């Protein structure tokens, strides 16, 4: 399948009073046409920074793309001017954020907010845009769109607002949709509805989706491929089946073990010991080594390269080096893996 987006060796730093925070340290991935790529990883691992960099929405004052390329349609997005970028945002690439309660402008009607990208990117007349906004509201499942279109965000519930945000994001049939934890702020039933809706819409307009989440259960549900991020790097990437059936990186094992399962009552919930690396002074070796019970001498000295597991499955851990001792994932992980696939 054709790649619609390629991120190559991306390095991003923030300049803070304390010094340079190396938030992203050599991220590589590609997004294929029509697929859903999930990015998982604990808080601070760099998921949002990576996707905001694609949209060029990082704070202009203190962030810097030190190195790397973001190739979309043959263009390197990191080199475009603001004006060129404005033509891509909301048209070719759009984004949904975490908190629907604050993502909409409180003093603008919902209709106007949906019409805005249509008028801007597709040169629609007001009447045509308003007609299309009605359709979009219907599409995302908002009842009585004729009435709702004239209302303000405070008249909508959280789930309804997130539907509106999705309608805005999909207005111009984008080629890429980036969803940064779009359901985290919603309750479980609404979450399921929103995910269902996104899958549904993806089928209709054939968008590629980058889906950021903490929730591995959601990943198993919506994604084709998964990238696991840790300390500003992608440490494992593969299809959902590969990463969930055959995880290679000890951090992925930790993530899977720490995930609550349906019958979690008897089991103690696992928590990965230790804290994420301090990106002000990234360690010399593998950033996960201090938290890793399988760590070897080399882990403290040199960062592991990406080892190939299969054509689609890669992991950055020295355990995959031919000379490394054979280590099996813990039993808890194995039982979890089976449950996942059962639940899917």
Partner 1 sequence: MGKYLAKRILFMFLTLFIIASITFFLMKIIPGTPFASAAKLPPAQLEIMKAKYGLDQPVPVQYAKYIGNLLQGDLGISFQFNNTPVSDLMFKRLGPSMQLGAQAMVFGTIIGVLLGIFAALRQNTWVDYSATFIAVLGKAVPNFVFAGLLQYFIAVKLGWFPVLFWKGFEYTILPTIALSIFPIAISARFMRTEMIDVLGSDYILLAKAKGASFFEIAIKHALRNALIPLVTVLGPLAISLMTGSLVVEKIFAIPGLGEQFVKSITVNDYPVIMGTTILFAALFVVIILVVDILYGIIDPRIRLSGGKK
x/- mask, ligand ATP, residues 54-93, rule CB under 6 A, reads -----x--x-------------------------------
Shortest Cβ distance from residue 22 to ligand ATP (Å)? 9
CA pair distance 259, 42, nearest whole angstrom: 12
Cβ atoms 210, 176 nearer than 8 A: yes
Cα 306 → chain centroid: 20
Six token digits for residue 21: 């925070």
C-alpha distances (whole Å) from 101 to each of 138, 189, 196, 324 are 20, 17, 20, 49
- 288 in contact with ligand SF4 (CB under 6 A): yes
If you ran DSSP here, which 8-state letter would residue 58 be given?
Answer: S
- 231 in contact with ligand ATP (CB under 6 A): no
Shortest Cβ distance from residue 177 to ligand ATP (Å)? 17
3-class state of residue 332 by DSSP: helix
3-class state of residue 88 by DSSP: helix
Answer for which of 4, 5, 7, 21 binds ligand ATP (CB under 6 A) is 21
Shortest Cβ distance from residue 80 to partner 1 (Å)? 13
x/- mask, partner 1, residues 156-185, rule CB under 8 A, reads ---------x--xx----------------
CA pair distance 184, 215, nearest whole angstrom: 9
Q: Which does 250 bind (CB under 5 to 8 A by kind): partner 1, ligand ATP, ligand SF4, none?
A: ligand SF4
Beta strands in 233-285 (DSSP E): 233-239
CA pair distance 283, 302, nearest whole angstrom: 9
Shortest Cβ distance from residue 184 to partner 1 (Å)? 14
Answer for which of 4, 38, 44, 233 binds ligand ATP (CB under 6 A) is 44
Q: Which does 89 bind (CB under 5 to 8 A by kind): ligand ATP, ligand SF4, partner 1, none?
A: partner 1
CA pair distance 170, 198, nearest whole angstrom: 10
The helix (run of H) or strand (run of E) holding residue 229 is strand 225-230
- 51 in contact with Mg ion (CB under 5 A): no
Shortest Cβ distance from residue 130 to ligand ATP (Å)? 35
Site residues for Mg ion per CB under 5 A: 48
Site residues for ligand SF4 per CB under 6 A: 249-250, 286, 288-289, 292, 294-296, 299, 304, 317-319
């Amino acid at each position: 399948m054709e790649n619609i987006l390629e991120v190559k060796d991306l390095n991003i730093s923030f300049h803070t009073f304390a010094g340079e925070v190396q938030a992203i340290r050599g991220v590589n991935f590609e997004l294929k046409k029509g697929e859903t790529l999930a990015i998982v990883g604990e808080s601070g691992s760099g998921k949002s920074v990576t996707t905001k960099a694609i949209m060029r929405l990082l704070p202009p004052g203190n962030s810097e793309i030190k190195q790397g390329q973001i190739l979309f349609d043959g263009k390197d997005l990191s080199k475009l001017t603001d004006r060129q970028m404005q033509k891509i945002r909301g048209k070719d690439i759009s984004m949904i954020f975490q908190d629907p309660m604050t993502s909409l402008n409180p003093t603008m009607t919902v209709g106007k907010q949906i019409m805005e990208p249509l008028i801007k990117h597709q040169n629609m007349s007001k009447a045509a845009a308003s007609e299309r906004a009605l359709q979009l509201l219907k599409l995302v499942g908002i009842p009585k769109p004729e009435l709702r279109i004239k209302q303000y965000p405070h008249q909508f519930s959280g789930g309804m607002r997130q539907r509106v945000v999705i309608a805005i994001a999909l207005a111009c049939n984008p080629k890429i949709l980036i969803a940064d934890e779009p359901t985290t702020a919603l309750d479980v039933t609404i979450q399921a509805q929103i995910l269902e809706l996104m899958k549904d819409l993806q089928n209709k307009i054939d968008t590629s989706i980058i889906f950021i989440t903490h929730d591995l259960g959601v990943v198993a549900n919506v994604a084709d491929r998964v990238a696991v991020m840790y300390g500003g790097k992608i440490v494992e990437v593969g299809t959902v089946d590969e990463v969930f059936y055959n995880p290679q990186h000890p951090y992925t094992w930790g993530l899977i073990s720490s995930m609550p399962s349906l019958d979690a009552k008897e089991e103690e919930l696992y928590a990965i010991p230790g804290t994420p690396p301090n990106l002000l002074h990234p360690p010399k070796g593998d950033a996960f080594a201090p938290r890793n019970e399988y760590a070897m001498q080399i882990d403290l000295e040199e960062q592991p390269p990406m080892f190939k597991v299969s054509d689609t499955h890669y992991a950055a851990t020295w355990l995959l080096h031919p000379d490394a001792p054979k280590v099996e994932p813990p039993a808890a992980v194995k039982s979890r893996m089976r449950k996942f696939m059962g639940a899917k």
